[in-house]
Amino acid sequence: MTAVTIIVPCRNEKGHIRAFLDSLLAQQLPPGVESEILIADGMSDDGTREILAGYAARFPQIGILDNPQRHVSTGLNQCIRRARGAVIVRMDVHSEYATDYVAQSLRALEETGAWNVGGPALTRPQGYMQTAISLAYASRFGCGGALFHNADYEGWVDTVTYGCWRKQTLERLGLFDEELIRNQDDELNLRIHRAGGKVWQTPKIRSWYKPRSSLAALFKQYYQYGYWKVRVLRKHKIPASIRHLIPGAFVAALAVLALLAPFFKPARLLLSLTIGAYLLAALLASVALCARPGRWRYLPVLPVVFGAYHISYGAGFLRGLFDLAAGRAPSGSYSTLSR
């Protein structure tokens, strides 16, 4: 009997963990394959641990590990070290999965020879704001048009959602980088490419991510992404892409022009033009997204959602640059599992 290990970081997921575990237990595995489910709990204090303990008592394939650091990367690495399976599949509590998710991951890993395989970043939002955030997330204007947003693309990519690897591949690479609180998936895929491996995406591996449901939560998430992207770029001595630089340059321009505007008329004019140009671009992108039936009611909020994506990422990127230039250690404010 071949074993595959599903690894999951979590903290304070009382409202979601039951449905998530039920979906894992319902996975339809290939003949001769059994699953091991390892949950790294970041010392939950909302009742999640009690729910996990109840499931572990009923289902022997479920194991619970303490993750006192409360970091995604440390939790994932604990699971990998404990894993019995020759193949590791990463999953997240805030996603829904097709019943053949694990089976399709195993198939793609075997057939392609890739070091990592995964599916596109699909969403399944609930409610008005979460749907607006989801629409912006999947758009080229919102998040840059990366291939993992393309629901139909099958082929080689830079990165994928979550991932599936052979355990020996992860061990050879050195597991996830525990210095990184965010962006650890992208950084691991970067090391895969540098080591001569490849990453494969297929729409047959289907999962649906539940995006943040408020602007405040979205802002915090993308501020962290921007902040930690600087550390990834620095660690691997690679230049930032235009996609990473534009939000930071936009926020820096707004800040400088806002400081100069009270004293210099040209600065006031440039500030007005910069804000106006951005609002026009955001409005046009919003109109394009709302052109499909049933979407027009999201038009009033979409420009604001785009702004939250771009300003939060840009501000986090600038703060990351500032801390790096000042020789500061990464801020502890962005260090724990959060939702």
Contacts of 264 (CB under 8 A, 6+ apart): none
Q: Tell me what the mean pLDDT of segment 190-195 comes to.
A: 93
Distance (Å) of CA 151 to CA 81, 176, 201, 317: 32, 26, 10, 28
Question: Are residues 188 and 222 both part of a single domain?
Answer: no
Residue whose tokens read 């990165």: 159
State the pLDDT confidence band at 72, using cuts at 50, 70 and 90.
Answer: very high
Unique residue bearing structure tokens 């449901």: 213
Strand 33-41 with 62-66, pairing? parallel
Q: Are residues 157 and 286 in the same domain?
A: no
The answer, yes or no, to whether residue 336 has pLDDT greater than 60, is no
SS3 category, 172:
helix
Q: Beta 2-10 vs 95-97: how paired, if at all? A: unpaired
- Answer whether residue 89 is part of any domain: yes
For residue 162, give Cα distances in angstroms to 121, 165, 182, 188. 9, 10, 13, 11
Q: What is the pLDDT of residue 335?
A: 52
Pair 234, 258 in one domain: yes
Shared domain for 280 and 148, answered yes or no, is no
Segment holding 183, helix H or strand E: none
| Assigned domain for 78 exists | yes
173 shares a domain with 255: no
User: Are both 191 and 98 inside the same structural domain?
Assistant: yes
CATH number of the structural domain spanning residue 26: 3.90.550.10
Q: Report the percent of the chain where pLDDT is more than 90.
A: 72
- Separation of CA 30 from chain center: 28
**Identity (one letter) of the amino acid at 264?**
F
User: Residue 294 — left, alpha, or beta (φ > 0 → left; ψ -120 to 50 → alpha)?
Assistant: left
pLDDT at 181: 81
> Residues 164, 83: one domain?
yes
Select the more confidently predicted residue: 254 or 179: 254
pLDDT of residue 314: 96
Residue where a domain terminates, one of 178, 209, 240: 209
Look up residue 302 and give its two tokens.
């979409």
Residues 261 and 307 grouped into a single domain: yes
Say how many CA atoms lie within 13 Å of 140 toward its Cβ. Answer: 4
Task: Supply the range of the domain harboring residue 296.
Answer: 215-334
Do both 142 and 72 map to the same domain? yes
Which strand (E) or helix (H) includes residue 235?
helix 215-236
For residue 95, list its beta bridge partners.
209
Q: Which amino acid is at 276?
A: G
Higher pLDDT, 274 or 124: 274
Per the structure, the count of domains in the chain is 2
Residue 339 falls inside a structural domain:
no
Per the model's pLDDT, the better-predicted residue between 217 and 333 turns out to be: 217
Average pLDDT over residues 135-160: 85
Pair (47, 184) in one structural domain: yes
With respect to residue 112, please indicate whether it lies within any of the assigned structural domains.
yes
- The pLDDT of 266-273, averaged and rounded, is 94
pTM of this prediction?
A: 0.86
Q: Which of 184, 209, 234 is the last residue of a domain?
A: 209
Which among 152, 186, 209 is the end of a domain?
209
Residues 39 and 180 reside in one and the same domain: yes
The proportion of the chain whose per-residue pLDDT surpasses 70, expressed as a percent, equals 96
Give domain status of residue 22, yes or no.
Answer: yes
Q: What is the mean pLDDT of the chain?
A: 91
62 and 88 both lie in a single domain? yes
